[in-house]
Amino acid sequence: MSESLLFVPLRVGALELSHRVVMAPLTRMRAGQPGNIPVALNATYYGQRATPGGLIIAEATQISPEGQGYPATPGIYSPEQVFGWQLVTDAVHQKGGLIFLQLWHVGRISHSSLQPGGKLPVAPSAIQPAGEAYTAAWQTVPFETPRALETNEIPALIDDYRRAAVNARAAGFDGVEVHSANGYLLDQFLQDRTNHRTDGYGGSTPNRTRLLLEVVDAVTEVWGADRVGVRLSPYGTFSDMGDSDPVALFTHVISKLSARRIAYLHLIEPRSSASGMSDEVNQQAVDAGSLFRGAFDGPVIGAGGFSRETAETTLRAGKADAVAFGRLFISNPDLPERFRLDAPLTPYNRATFYGGTEEGYTDYPFAAARA
């Protein structure tokens, strides 16, 4: 059998990866309270999943108090949060691993109980999402109608991303990923179902792309382009998303990101449009690599419903350069080693994904067999 491409080294921006099994960003809702601060338990979790030269993309992390959409998700805007994340990056680096922080603003996918002063969440347009929001008390209620951001508020929003990038450097990360997927704020600006603006951030495809590119430029000023990635979810339906011409939109977005020479593009597969909230996978959906790989001149990380076998097939077809795994990494902290040994995988328990403590978080076993 030919050598597995999963274990061929890969250059990603400023980083040299020893393998191509990436840990995807995974919301777990276990930040310390009060203050949404990473704690020792979080450091243990990430340290367990670190491998020499392996890339971890840490969970979505709000850039400001207004960016929060779920209880007990971590932030990167306070000194205490920076210190907490230092525990995490130290644990990963002690194992020889690499770790990026995913910068997050949820936009309308929030609830007023999570917002400073009980204000409404913000969005590109005042359009209520379908479905239910989490409250600060961990209850689920119908989403509220958000408040549309004023044009003159957008520079301050971009500054929040810039400060978050500065704080991520102080916390010891190796780079940052801009979260523009899964129906959160930057994705809401991109897609015309959620962006009905009539100013310079709405209407045409270039206008709807403008905020994402301004955020990427601001973050790049802090990190350099070779330590910045971007995550997109073309065809994603999570959080009531959609666009009238997704191929044209995302081809435009990706070509603009390619011109900026960012470290990598992280694409969620159309077959996994539910964003991990269910195990259903639409195997008939066209793959993201076929649609968009040609628009990006740099490393592409694929994500969404991959197995070891389908990851290998995707790499051999040139549709991605690395593959991010989420749920399998939850229940298999040594996932790259299990793939290397073709060892059995531990099934995950979805009931323990969100909230809680050690159970379903740091208590999954490592494989007994070792090379």
Residue boundaries of the structural domains of the chain: 5-352
Q: What is the pLDDT of residue 2?
A: 63
Is there a contact between 104 and 67 (Cβ–Cβ < 8 Å)?
Answer: yes
The owner of tokens 């490393």 is 299
Q: How far apart are CA 214 and CA 208, in angstroms?
A: 11
Q: What is the pLDDT of residue 236?
A: 82
Q: Can you tell me whether residue 99 is helix, strand or coil? A: strand
pLDDT by residue for the chain (371 residues), tens only, comes to 468 999 999 999 999 999 999 999 999 999 999 999 999 999 999 999 999 999 999 999 999 999 999 999 999 999 999 999 999 999 999 999 999 999 999 999 999 999 999 999 999 999 999 999 999 999 999 999 999 999 999 999 999 999 999 999 999 999 999 999 999 999 999 999 999 999 999 999 999 999 999 999 999 999 999 999 999 999 888 888 999 999 999 999 999 999 999 999 999 998 765 544 556 555 556 788 889 999 999 999 999 999 999 999 999 999 999 999 999 999 999 999 999 999 999 999 999 999 999 999 999 999 974 44
Beta strands in the chain (DSSP E): 10-12, 15-17, 21-23, 55-62, 98-104, 122-123, 132-134, 140-142, 147-148, 175-180, 228-232, 264-268, 300-303, 322-325
Q: How far apart are CA 86 and CA 46, in angstroms?
A: 12
- Conformational region of residue 305, where left means phi above 0, alpha means psi within -120 to 50, and beta covers everything else: left
- Told to judge if 184 belongs to the known catalytic residues of this protein, a careful annotator would answer yes
CATH number, span 5-352: 3.20.20.70
What is the Cα 64 distance to its own chain's centre?
16
DSSP state of 310: H
Which among 46, 70, 161, 184 is annotated as catalytic? 184
